[in-house]
Amino acid sequence: MDLRLTGKTALVTGASRGIGLATVHALLGEGVRVVGAARTITPELGATDATAVAVDLTVADGPARLVDRVRSELGGLDLLVNNVGGGDTDANWTGGFLDVTDQQWSDAFDVNFFASVRTARAALPLLVEAEAGGAIVNVSSTSALTPHAGPIAYSTAKAALTAFGKALAEEVGPRGVRVNTVSPGPVRTAMWESPDGYGSQLAASLGVPHAQLLDGLPDTAGMVTGRLVEPAEVAALVAYLGSPLAASITGADHVIDGNSVKTV
């Protein structure tokens, strides 16, 4: 399917790996000019045709500096993909509420919420000027819908991001900018598969081998597909929502989770 994105411009945050890197590949494959931003530029991101920009979006002026670079590199912006998120791998996220420090709450909101808020604020003037209307896609999580299923600070920050997208869509829709949210369930990314990621920490806290936890995760999460979501599947949805084919879709939260969320 031709998404009619050839010649469009996009900024993807958290682009070094996982969903972000898959989104960079998907957009480049549709003929989009892409700036891929990440705290650290991985060899995989550097090997793409995207313009890779190293930036820490948890620093207050990071998003504004990034958008200035986008303006100089691309001359404008049609699509912002707020994918940056996750958590500090040095922090243990498997404890309960009383184990989460103020600093961990602050860090979780900085990377999973405020980074996207500030990047959207910086990018909005460019998106308003987009010839056929701009679009924002925020990557949240099904943890926002089932907060008990993830670390409490992470889930709460993602819930805030989902609410932010709904509210922003209402405000900027009359200015020609669409805002949607994508909420993946467990995805085959470093968050689950890395030996120092959340999946490994969770396995250790449960006293089971990491590989065993991953093998059983789809069933534990209630995924009727019997497997984790692939990053490319999420990226395809993001690309569609950013395209002119989705011109009437805005203010919606699109769940891609193998039916792990059972509520309507």
**Which residues form the catalytic set?**
154
Q: How far is CA 130 from the centre of its chain?
A: 22
The answer to whether 194 and 89 have CB atoms below 8 angstroms apart is: yes
Rounded distance, CA 135 to CA 130, Å?
9
Rounded distance, CA 76 to CA 65, Å?
15
Could you tell me the two tokens for 254?
Answer: 């699109």
Rounded distance, CA 259 to CA 61, Å?
38
Rounded distance, CA 218 to CA 227, Å?
5
The answer to whether 34 and 10 have CB atoms below 8 angstroms apart is: yes
Secondary structure E strands in 28-167:
33-38, 51-54, 79-82, 135-139
Q: Label the pairing between strands 253-256 and 79-82.
A: unpaired
φ and ψ at residue 166, rounded to 5 degrees? -65, -45
Q: Which residues of 78-93 are buried (b: 16+ CB within 10 A; e: fewer)?
A: bbbbbbbbbbebebbb
Could you tell me the two tokens for 240?
Answer: 């569609």
Closest C-alpha among 81, 83, 88, 82 to residue 108: 88
